[in-house]
Amino acid sequence: MLTTHNPAKIAALNDAARKSFSGCRVYMTPGVQALYQTQAIAARVQAYDDFNQRNDPYGEHDFGSFEFCGETIFWKIEYYDLDFQMHSLDPSDPDITARVLTIMLGHEY
């Protein structure tokens, strides 16, 4: 059973993970890797701050997109239990939640 949704706490945890790439696993899809500019793309993800109602309707800071060298880049944070077997029951609790940040081309979503 999911606990009470706390978007502000989830957003703070997501921002910390995204900005530092610590406290989460980070994956770049083959399409992003094929651009051969993974460090520049990672830096753009870490610096991302264009959250709005359209791309962040729940206020969790779990998704973003930007243009890079003519490609649309998406990034998405998902929440799992610590064994990566199912979704976390409480994404606001870092003691029971593992975050996965995936960076992908828009058409790979």
* Token couple for 4: 């009470």
When divided into structural domains, the chain yields a total of: 1
pLDDT at 63: 98
Question: φ, ψ for residue 4 (rounded to 5)?
Answer: -60, 135
Determine, yes or no, domain membership for 22: yes
Q: Is 35 a domain residue? A: yes
Please state, for a pLDDT cut of 90, what percent of the chain lies above it.
94
User: Does residue 93 lie within any of the structural domains?
Assistant: yes
Report whether pLDDT(32) > 80: yes
Question: Is residue 5 predicted with pLDDT exceeding 90?
Answer: no
With CA atoms as reference, report the closest residue to 106 among 17, 31, 19: 31
Q: What's the pLDDT band for 108 if we cut at 50, 70, 90?
A: very high
- Domain extent, residue 40, equals 7-108
Global pTM reads 0.93
- Average of pLDDT values for 11-36? 98
Domain assignment present for 2: no
- Banded pLDDT at 92 (limits 50, 70, 90): very high
Residue 1 lies in a domain: no
